[in-house]
Chain A
Amino acid sequence: MLEINNQYTAMKRRIDTEVLKLYFAGELESGLDSLPFKIIPKDRTPNRCCIYKERAIVRYRIMALLGIDIERNDDEMKPLSQYAKEVMEEDPPVLPLLTTISTGCYGCPPDQYRISDACRGCFARPCMANCPKDAIVFINGQAHINEERCIRCGKCMDVCPFHAVVHIPVPCEEACPVGAVKKNEKGVVEIDHKNCISCGRCARSCPFGAIAERSGLFPVLKMLGNGDKVTAMIAPAIEGQFPGTLAQIKASLLKIGFDKVVEVAEGAAVTTEHEAEEVVRRKANGEGYMTTSCCSAYMELVDKHLGFLDERYSRAFSPMIYTAKLCKEADPDHKTVFIGPCLAKRVEAARRGGVDGVITFSELAAIFMAKGIDVREEEAADLGDTSSFDYCRKFALSHGVADCVLSRVEDPASIRVMPINGVDKKTFRLMKSWEKRAPDVDLVEVMCCEGGCIDGPGTIVKPAVAMKLRGGAKAASPVASVKSPL
């Protein structure tokens, strides 16, 4: 997957912010058509083939931000302002979550191993000796791979002493754990929505930005704009994503128009109690392993690919759902918006209901930037009494959910835990094997993103930075040698 800070994310943030600036200025419909020209001016040195293509892709990014399904509803003759008008009148459907920008797709050549000029045609020739399919031949004293025989096992790459073998993957296909991203007969990316689990890995790995998530931002902006009472439910991963403490983040959210801010850790405490009770009960009854159920992409994975786990995942709802219930009990007239690092949560919210909107941290950042709100300068808001659930802020980290559950079990040493830290092709294969051979543990904690939610597709900073800033007042003075923390 791509590093989080790259030119594409920078461009995405810029586009999001510029669109929101127009929206808040009340100039969305009048200003949107000229925005691609403003962002990609004539004198720019293009990163793609030309500025015209760059403008076209900016247009598609804006459409994705508006929530348009580009695969199905792309009318090149229709101005952006018209799309915006329609979106303001009626929310587009949430699913499918991901959409492709086919003109942005480079059409990468198929996954392959190649031998570069660094090959010295050595005497030992370990590549040839270790190739299980005899696919390596020597021509003019250099190794070559016979494409027809090669099964792309990568053994030659592992054994070459000169590192002369390179693996050239198709990033989106390689990133998808379930093989739902494929290139069509034209060589252009296509998502098989029947199999897609909405984890967002493909969108994060395409260096050309050809896969986009359809944002749910505008339905939320409309709620905030037309005077609805709205409660923001902030995921535990939010701490460390902004240069400020949780209390300052809360203050910033109140400033942009939310009426109330609730931590999803509160719902996570309910999930924890349920799972703790359940895992002990299952163990006592000799029912075998139980998996967690808080990761929405994992629930999609079970639904679409691992049906045998239906019996295995905890019956507890996710922290988002419990938190939404708590919010509706406290303020029945409030709408609820989940703010998190996750794309799949939008799918969960659409399927389960009870949550009125879902946006990501990076979309929230765009709101802050468009409104000129500096989290670090905000007066800390009162977080209230968090003592009953603050231990559940760990839900955002791999091992964190299991830690919380164990802390609520009478005899934690008796519960054997196995974390699935990130669902990729390999761990997916491992999980498939459980159908025949159950893992010898009591609790399996599944996190689709490696490291946990703090490395989700909607995050802003690297997990290492987030970890540095998490916990208490650390974020108030993000640099070690700060002399006078604010």
Chain B
Amino acid sequence: MKKEKVQVKICVGTACFVQGGSDLLLYNDFVDPAVIAQCEIEGCSCLEACKVNGEGAPYVTINGEVHAKVTQEEFARLLSEAVKNA
């Protein structure tokens, strides 16, 4: 059976985008292409997480789990971990 792809959503709401989320859109430059091939990466609207805690942007969800303050390094790490565990 074909392996399910990891579902990745990058918040592209204005608050996340402005506070570093825009960097994640360059994922082709800093994530291993083999990992990207195993992921389905999408932009998504505001996850409303920032309204609860103003300090967590940018947010990313991986297979439904919300991650806060995601940097490029963190993003690459989370993705390869998720792919490994898939």
**Chain A positions near chain B (C-beta within 8 angstroms):** 5, 10, 13-14, 242-243, 362, 365, 368-369, 372-377, 460-462, 464-465, 468-469, 477-483, 486
Q: Is the CB of B14 within 8 A of A365?
A: yes
B62 to chain A, nearest CB (A): 14
Residues of A within 8 A of B51 (CB): 372
Which residues of the partner chain A approach B41 to less than 8 Å between Cβ atoms? 479-481
Query: CA–CA, A367 to B71, complex, Å?
Result: 24
30 pairs, CB–CB < 8 Å, chain A vs chain B: A5-B20, A10-B19, A13-B18, A242-B17, A242-B18, A243-B12, A243-B13, A243-B43, A362-B18, A369-B14, A374-B13, A375-B14, A376-B13, A376-B14, A377-B13, A460-B18, A461-B17, A461-B22, A462-B22, A462-B23, A462-B26, A464-B26, A465-B22, A478-B43, A479-B12, A479-B25, A479-B43, A481-B40, A482-B42, A482-B43
The answer, yes or no, to whether B55 is at the interface (CB within 8 Å) is yes
Q: Pick the contact of A465: B26, B45, B46 (CB < 8 A).
A: B26
Contacts of A477 in B (CB 8 A): 43
Q: Which residues of B contact A374 (CB under 8 A)?
A: 13-15, 45-46
Q: Does B6 contact A (CB under 8 A)?
A: no
Query: Is B10 part of the contact surface with A, judged by Cβ < 8 Å?
Result: yes
A10, A372, A479 interface centre (most CB from chain B within 10 Å): A479
Kindly name the residue among B12, B23, B46 whose own CB sees the greatest number of chain A CB atoms within 10 A.
B12
- In the bound complex, how far is the Cα of B75 from the Cα of A395, in angstroms? 34
Distance between B79 CB and nearest chain A CB, rounded to angstroms: 13
Tell me the dominant secondary structure on chain B's binding face: mixed
Per CB-CB distance, the 10 closest pairs between chain A and chain B, nearest first, are A479-B43, A461-B22, A243-B12, A243-B17, A365-B18, A5-B20, A465-B22, A374-B14, A374-B13, A375-B14
**Is the Cβ of B10 less than 8 Å from the Cβ of A479?**
yes
Shortest Cβ distance from residue A451 to the other chain B in the assembled complex, whole angstroms: 15
Instruction: Among B15, B25, B45, point to the contact of A486 (Cβ < 8 A).
Output: B45
Interface centre among A243, A478, A486 (most CB of B within 10 A): A243
Are B14 and A242 in contact, CB atoms less than 8 angstroms apart?
yes
Query: Are A373 and B14 closer than 8 Å at their CB atoms?
Result: yes
Q: Which of B15, B28, B45 contacts A369 (CB 8 A)?
A: B15
Give the complex CA separation of A197 and B37 in angstroms: 48
Please, how many angstroms separate the alpha-carbon atoms of A468 and B17 in the complex?
14
Contact B54 A14 (CB under 8 A): yes
The residue of chain B having its C-beta at the shortest distance from the C-beta of A10 within the complex is B19
* Interface members, chain B 32-68 (any A CB < 8 Å): 40-43, 45-46, 51, 54-55
When distances are taken between beta carbons in the complex, the residues of chain A under 8 Å from B28 are 480
Residue of A nearest to B39 (CB): A481
Q: How far apart sit A460 and B57, CA to CA, in the bound complex (Å)? A: 14
Known: A462-B26, A478-B12, A479-B25. 12 other contacts (CB 8 A): A369-B15, A373-B14, A374-B13, A460-B18, A460-B22, A461-B23, A469-B25, A478-B25, A479-B12, A479-B41, A481-B40, A481-B42
> A-side binding surface: helix, strand, loop or mixed?
loop
Chain A residue at smallest Cβ distance from B27: A479
Q: How far is the CA of A295 from the CA of B14 in the complex (A)?
A: 29
Distance, CA A369 to CA B18, complexed state (A):
9
Q: Report the minimal beta-carbon distance from A255 to chain B, rounded to whole angstroms.
A: 12
A486 to B42, CA, bound (A): 12
Q: How far is the CB of B24 from chain A (nearest CB, A)?
A: 9
Task: Determine if A377 and B45 form an interchain contact, defined as CB atoms under 8 angstroms apart.
Answer: yes
Write out the residue numbers on chain A whose beta carbons fall within 8 Å of the beta carbon of B12.
243, 376, 478-479
Kindly state the separation between the CA atoms of A465 and B51 in the bound complex, as whole angstroms.
25
A10 near B23 with CB under 8 A, answer no
In the complex, A486→B10 CA distance in Å? 15
Q: Chain B CB within 10 Å — which of A376, A462, A477 has the most?
A: A376
Cα-based distance from A416 to B64 in the complex (angstroms):
56
A457 to B40, CA, bound (A): 34
Smallest CB gap from B43: residue in A: A479
Smallest distance from the beta carbon of B38 to chain A beta carbons, Å? 13
Q: Which residues of B contact A462 (CB under 8 A)?
A: 22-23, 26
* Min CB gap B44→A, angstroms: 9
Cα distance A369–B25 in the bound complex, in angstroms = 20
CB distance from A91 to the nearest CB of B (A): 26
A475 to B41, CA, bound (A): 16
Q: Are B42 and A468 in contact (CB under 8 A)?
A: no
Q: Shortest CB–CB separation between residue A235 and chain B, in angstroms? A: 17
The CA-CA distance from A13 to B19 in the complex, in Å, is: 8
> Which single residue of chain A is at the shortest CB-CB distance from B51?
A372
- Nearest chain A CB to B7's CB is how many angstroms away? 11
**C-alpha gap A478/B22 in the complex (Å):** 9
With a cutoff of 8 Å between Cβ atoms, the chain B residues found around residue A482 in the complex are 42-43
Q: Which residues of A contact B10 (CB under 8 A)?
A: 479
Shortest Cβ gap from A363 to chain B (Å)? 11
CB distance from B64 to the nearest CB of A (A): 16
A376 in contact with B42 (CB, 8 Å): no
Residue of A nearest to B15 (CB): A369
Minimal beta-carbon separation of B72 from chain A (angstroms): 9
Evaluate contact between B23 and A465: CB separation under 8 angstroms.
Answer: yes
* A372 cross-chain contacts in B, Cβ below 8 A: 51
Complex Cα distance, B21 from A10, in Å, reads 11
Closest B residue to A361 by CB, please name it.
B18
- The residue in chain B whose Cβ has the minimal distance to the Cβ of A244 is B14
**A464 nearest CB neighbor, chain B only:** B26
